[in-house]
Chain A
Amino acid sequence: MDELSQPGVGVAAAREGWPRPATIAWVFAGAVAAMLLLYLALNAPGHWFTQAPQLGWSAAQLSLARGSGSVQGDEMHITAPDATGLALLSVDTGFRSADYPVVAWAAVDIPPGADVRLLWRTDYTPGKVSSVGLVVESGRVLPVLLAGNGEWIGTIRGLAFAVRFAGGETVRVRGVVAKPSGMAGTLGDRIAEWLAFEGWSGTSINSVTGGADIQDLPLPLLLAAAALLACLVLALIARRRGLSTRHAIAAGFAGSVLLGWAVLDARWVINLARQADITARLYAGKDYTHKHLDDVDGALFRFIQHAHAVMPTTPARVFVVAEAHYFRGRAAFHLYPHNVYFDPYHDALPPKGQLHAGDWVFVYRRRGIQYDATRQRLRMDGVEYPAEMKLTEPGSALFLILPP
């Protein structure tokens, strides 16, 4: 296109010159290592080098002292707090506080607004229970750093997890881990975060986290910082050797970005392969109907199949009613090509005065709908409609509106 784009311009010089690709790769690897070391030096809360092993207690070892719940698989499901709104899980321990500056509760589905605390007792002040508030992000409890806490002293005799919430939701706890959090342990935690499997969820279409939901050191940031450092190092070396720093920076930037990109891409493709394996086990070899019966809304799909059997083959007007907007939308999608109406955003009943004879009302997991079979009257929001119940299953029903 212009003189710069002429085939081969500069390529020979670049190929013969310094730095070579292998040099860039080594410098970039060194920069990554240096950045990691810097991070660990600044962030490893415990002794940099420690022999203390990580200690863990599983859900089965936890006692539910307050509230109600049970162990389900490898998780403790706290289904309700006690009358004061508190649920408490505890476990007896016996480790030196100085060796374990970090405690991590594996607890998820914490309701918004819940007050979550870590409690502990020590042999130093046996009669006293100390506590510290825990930070919750995206419904997960973050690890807490206790080094420097004046009450984290002596031998820790017991840990407890206290959550104060209104109830109505299930809090899942897999256990608790006391971490020595030396350099190796902290590095292991970061690597585990980067390599954590990120399966499809409702938010996948909007955002890719790149590993665990919460990461202390995002991998793209580390690699970008390392790329910058590699460029600086290469420029310095070039300057000392009397070579072109511009060329060194150009080569270093291109090489480092490509290498960093390759690392991130490898992580992503491996994650994709793991997801494809899950998808294959769920759906491969199944036809349309069986895929949907095995999907998360399989029960709804099954009921709609039954509904289609009693509804006319030509499209009819159908009003969908459900508390959860997920079910309203899914029901509508499965009911098409019937002429479906649903409120995509609110738990709303059909607009008053808009139901006519021949219309259908599809109800799925929606409280407050009453039907009097003897009088053939459907009551919604204080308004009665003449209706025939054509189909019913637990939590769901299908009505045909009759002439007045």
Chain B
Amino acid sequence: MSPMDVLALLAAIALPWAAGSGIVAALPASRGGAPGSAAWIAGAGWLLGAVLVTLVMRATARLGLPFGRLSIGVPLALVATCAAALVARMSNATWRGATLQARDGLASLLGRGLTGIRRIAWLALLAWLGVRFALLLSEVLWQPLYPWDAWIQWATKAKVWYSLGTIVPFEFTDQWLAGNGASYFDASPHYPATVPLWQVWTCVALGRWDDSLMNVFWWQTALALALVAYATLRQFEFGRIGALVGTWLVASLPLANVHVALAGYADLPMAAYYTVAAVAALRWVERRRRDDAALAVFFVASCALVKTPGIVWALTIVGAALVGAWPRTGLRVVGIAAAAFAVLLLATSRYSPTVLGYTIHLTFAPSWGALGDSFFMLGNWNLLWYAVIGTAVLARREALERPMQAFTTLIAAGAAFLLIVFGVTNARDWVADQTTVNRATLHLAPLAALWAVVVFRRYALRAAPQAVAEPGDAEGAPRAHA
């Protein structure tokens, strides 16, 4: 990799990141320097910017302009500049102030405000996370496009769109044959364009097709997911070390790591967008601010742009948000929806509809053994599902309390979706051969980890004898705004 490649890759990442972070930072809800706000701006900002770059590319193609560094990069740079100017104006920031703030942020990252064993723990955890991300980055940079679906139905589009400099349609066999060259063909022609467009943009920035380096967005998305996890836990009043431990749990899920190292599938991005959309929705439930709502709507819509099942995942967020915001009405709506879903599911015992590209047929012969292997015996999830079940049992009261209702509804809806689809429909075949079941579970896993950590902490605090407030406690207090 030449120095120019490094610069090009940095630019490919920096432009959407700056634009997205600028927009998130410019929202009034991001002001005030609450704990974790920097991580939220960086993490959610990346995820916003990564969708933004694909929207710019769709607009570029629609306008008939060819993909290029300028046609895509300039709009992103403009957005980033305007957002930065807005942030500076709103906060009366000066260059010197920004420099000092950056220095503060760096010092905070290096453990300022923590002493003794706490500082050592903080730095050790950061180093451990650093080793993991370095190893994953090496795989992304060196490994040619590896996993099956990546080169048969995702990057196929990227290669064509990059080479032609625009978006052209992909069609199924009959339409392709009838079109006589007007459209293209691959194994899944109607899959969403977002992920291939990431690869196109990276190659455009590089100036050549490279099926290793084009996957750098997956690594960055994993980093953003970790930042969102940290910000979420800080939002739930975790101390810095507690939040970092929770972040490590989210970032260390082995199957999620595999999806970075062997990048090219849309499942890790799906997990990241589902997580950030859920967290954004929970922020709205908590604060009822319009800008929180706008961000939540954007990320919920992004779920559907990343992968087709994102539509179902998005619906679980909508249901949970309703329950959180208007518990009585929300529960009624969710109950009716669940009943309707059950009726539709029963109907599939007579009919075999194709939903979101998957043929569903009710056959109650669940592969519990294979499902158990996947969740509890194999190395996919470390101890995640043991921890989730343990938390659900121990902290059942805390999970159902008012502030946790929306979060718990979300996890319950997600788990029910997975268990029903893979338990009582023909999708169980994908459980038996350990294929789609794990990738579908990956969409929910990071959020489930966050739920377990947040709910269990409530249980642990309540279980602590003689609970007394200790003002200014370094672990619990939002003193150092990392």
Q: Which residues of A contact B (CB under 8 A)?
A: 1-2, 4-14, 17, 198, 200, 202-211, 215, 218-221, 223-224, 227, 243-244, 246-247, 249-251, 253-254, 257-258, 260-261, 264-265, 267-269, 272-273, 275-276, 279-280, 282-284, 288, 291-292, 295, 315, 317, 329-330, 332-333, 336-337, 339-342, 344, 351, 354, 356
Shortest distance between the CB of A318 and any CB in chain B (Å)? 10
Report how far A390 CA is from B138 CA in the complex, Å: 40
Query: Interface stretch among B41-49, B53-61, B332-340, B434-442?
Result: B434-442
How many angstroms between the C-alpha atoms of A354 and B176 in the bound complex?
11
B265 touches A205 (CB 8 A): yes
C-beta contact mask, B366-410 vs A, less than 8 Å → 1, else 0? 000000001011111111001100100010001000110000000
- Give Cα distance in the complex from A261 to B469, angstroms: 30
Distance in angstroms from A388 CB to nearest chain B CB is 20
A-binding residues in B (CB < 8 A): 128, 131-132, 135-136, 138-139, 142-149, 151-153, 155-156, 159-160, 163-164, 173, 176-177, 180-181, 184-187, 208-212, 236-237, 245, 248-249, 252, 254-255, 257-259, 261-262, 265, 286, 374, 376-383, 386-387, 390, 394, 398, 402-403, 434-436, 438-439, 456, 458-473, 475-478
Query: CA–CA, A247 to B236, complex, Å?
Result: 21
In the bound complex, what is the Cα–Cα distance between A215 and B376 (angstroms)? 13
A272 to B140, CA, bound (A): 13
Chain A residues with Cβ below 8 Å from B181 are 315, 317, 339
Closest 9 CB pairs of A and B: A210-B379, A337-B163, A10-B464, A8-B473, A10-B467, A344-B187, A8-B470, A5-B237, A205-B147
Within the complex, the shortest CB–CB distance from B148 to chain A, in Å, comes to: 6
Given contacts A207-B255, A291-B144, contact A7 B382 (CB under 8 A): no
Task: For the complex, give the distance between the alpha carbons of A356 and B180 in Å.
Answer: 9
Please state if B159 and A336 are interface contacts (CB–CB under 8 Å): yes
**Hey, which chain B residues are within 8 Å of A250, CB to CB?**
394, 456, 459-460, 463-464
Task: List the B side residues contacting A254 at CB < 8 Å.
Answer: 456, 460
B379/A351 in contact, CB under 8 A: no
B394 touches A332 (CB 8 A): no
A220 is contacted by which of B159, B185, B258, B376 (Cβ under 8 Å)?
B376
Please name the residue on chain A nearest to B132 by beta carbon.
Answer: A269
Beyond A200-B146, A333-B155, A341-B176, is A14–B464 a contact (Cβ under 8 Å)? yes
Q: Given the complex, which residues of A lie within 8 Å of B477, measured CB to CB?
A: 7-8
A–B complex contacts, Cβ < 8 Å, 23 sampled: A1-B236, A1-B237, A7-B237, A7-B469, A11-B476, A12-B468, A204-B258, A206-B439, A210-B254, A220-B378, A220-B386, A221-B376, A250-B459, A257-B383, A257-B387, A260-B383, A268-B379, A269-B128, A332-B186, A333-B159, A336-B159, A344-B152, A354-B177
Contact A208–B142 (Cβ < 8 Å): no
Contact B135 A224 (CB under 8 A): no
Q: How far is the CA of A383 from the CA of B299 in the complex (A)?
A: 53
- Minimum CB distance partner of B452 in chain A: A257
Number of A-B contacts (CB under 8 A): 261
Contact indicator A17/B464 (Cβ below 8 Å): yes
- Chain A residues within an 8 Å CB radius of B469: 6-9
- By the criterion CB–CB under 8 Å, are A204 and B147 in contact? yes
Is the CB–CB distance between A295 and B144 below 8 Å? yes
A14 CA to B262 CA, complexed, in Å: 42
Residues of B near A243 (CB, < 8 A) are: 465
Q: Is the CB of B394 within 8 A of A269?
A: no
Least CB distance from A301 to B in Å reads 10
In the complex, are the beta carbons of A12 and B470 less than 8 A apart? yes
State the Cβ distance, B149 to closest chain A Cβ, in Å: 8
CB pair A279–B383 under 8 Å, yes or no, is: no
Query: What's the minimum C-beta distance from B422 to chain A, rounded to whole angstroms?
Result: 13
Asked whether, in the complex, the Cβ of A208 is within 8 Å of the Cβ of B177, the reply is no
Q: Are B142 and A224 in contact (CB under 8 A)?
A: no
Which of B164, B176, B460 lies at the interface centre, i.e. has the most chain A CB atoms within 10 A of its CB? B460
- Residues on the A chain within 8 Å of B382, using CB: 220, 260-261, 264-265, 268
With contacts A1-B236, A8-B470 taken as known, whether A17 is within 8 angstroms of B379 at the C-beta atoms is no
Considering the chains assembled together, what is the distance between the CA atoms of A11 and B128 in angstroms? 26
Q: Please indicate the chain B residues that have their CB under 8 angstroms from the CB of A246 in the complex.
A: 463
The interface residues of chain A lying within 8 Å CB-to-CB of B146 are 200, 205
Query: Are A329 and B434 neighbours in the complex by a CB distance under 8 Å?
Result: no
User: Are A351 and B142 interface neighbours, CB within 8 A?
Assistant: no
Min CB distance, B118 to chain A, in Å? 11
Contact present for A223 and B383 (CB under 8 Å): yes
The one of B148, B185, B286, B379 that contacts A211, using a Cβ cutoff of 8 Å:
B379
Q: Which of A11, A210, A211 gathers most chain B CB within 10 Å?
A: A11
Known: A224-B376, A269-B131, A272-B135. A2 touches B463 (CB 8 A): no
Question: Residue on A with the closest CB to B212?
Answer: A291
Contact of A340 among B139, B185, B472 (CB under 8 A): B185
Give Cα distance in the complex from A5 to B243, angstroms. 13
CB distance from A372 to the nearest CB of B (A): 27
Knowing A11-B470, A336-B159 touch, does A288 contact B208 (C-beta < 8 A)?
A: yes
Cα-based distance from A8 to B464 in the complex (angstroms)? 12
- Taking the nearest CB of chain A, how far is it from the CB of B222, in angstroms? 13
- Check B434–A273 contact: CB distance below 8 A: no
A189 CA to B135 CA, complexed, in Å: 28
Pick from A1, A221, A315: contact of B286, CB under 8 Å: A1
Residues of B within 8 A of A11 (CB): 461, 464, 470, 473, 475-476
CB–CB B383/A261 < 8 A: yes
Contacts beyond the supplied A205-B149, A332-B152: 12 A-B pairs with Cβ under 8 Å: A13-B466, A205-B148, A207-B380, A208-B378, A220-B376, A249-B394, A253-B456, A264-B382, A291-B144, A329-B148, A329-B151, A332-B186
CA distance A215 to B136 in the complex (A): 26
Contact B439 A279 (CB under 8 A): no
Task: Determine if B252 and A329 form an interchain contact, defined as CB atoms under 8 angstroms apart.
Answer: no
CB atoms of B163 and A336 under 8 A apart: yes
A357→B135 CA distance, assembly (Å): 50
Q: Considering the chains assembled together, what is the distance between the CA atoms of A283 and B211 in angstroms?
A: 13
Q: For A9, what are the chain B residues with a Cβ–Cβ distance below 8 Å?
A: 461, 467-469, 476
Q: Could you tell me if B473 and A12 are in contact, using CB atoms closer than 8 angstroms?
A: yes
Q: Closest Cβ of chain A: how far from B223's Cβ, in Å?
A: 16
List chain B residues, Cβ under 8 A from A13. 464-468
Contact of B463 among A249, A339, A356 (CB under 8 A): A249
Contact partners of A247 in chain B: CB under 8 A = 460, 463-465
Instruction: Output the least CB separation between B235 and chain A (Å).
Output: 8
Residues of A within 8 A of B180 (CB): 317, 356
Chain A residues whose CB sits within 8 angstroms of the CB of B478 once the complex forms: 7
Q: Are the C-beta atoms of B136 and A272 separated by less than 8 Å?
A: yes
Closest B-chain residue to A198, C-beta based?
B379
Contact A208 B379 (CB under 8 A): yes
**Nearest Cβ distance between residue A103 and chain B, in whole angstroms?**
26
Is the beta-carbon distance between A6 and B383 smaller than 8 angstroms?
no
Question: Which one, B135, B459, B460, contacts A14 given CB within 8 A?
Answer: B460
A111 to chain B, nearest CB (A): 18
- Cβ contact of B377, chosen from A218, A275, A340, cutoff 8 A: A218
How far apart are B386's CB and chain A's nearest CB, in angstroms? 4
Q: Are B476 and A207 in contact, CB atoms less than 8 angstroms apart?
A: no
Q: Closest CB of chain A to B329's CB: distance in Å?
A: 22
Contact in complex: A4, B252 (CB < 8 Å)? no
Other-chain contact of A337, B143, B159, B177, B475 (Cβ < 8 Å)? B159
A258-B245 contact in complex given A208-B379, A288-B209, C-beta closer than 8 Å: yes
Task: Name B142's contact: one of A1, A209, A260, A283 (CB within 8 Å).
Answer: A283
CA distance A2 to B173 in the complex (A): 57
B390 touching A253, Cβ below 8 Å: yes
The CA of A211 and the CA of B254, in the complex, are separated in Å by 12
Q: Are B252 and A265 in contact (CB under 8 A)?
A: yes
Other-chain contact of A208, B185, B376, B380, B465 (Cβ < 8 Å): B380
Is there contact, CB below 8 Å, between A5 and B236? yes
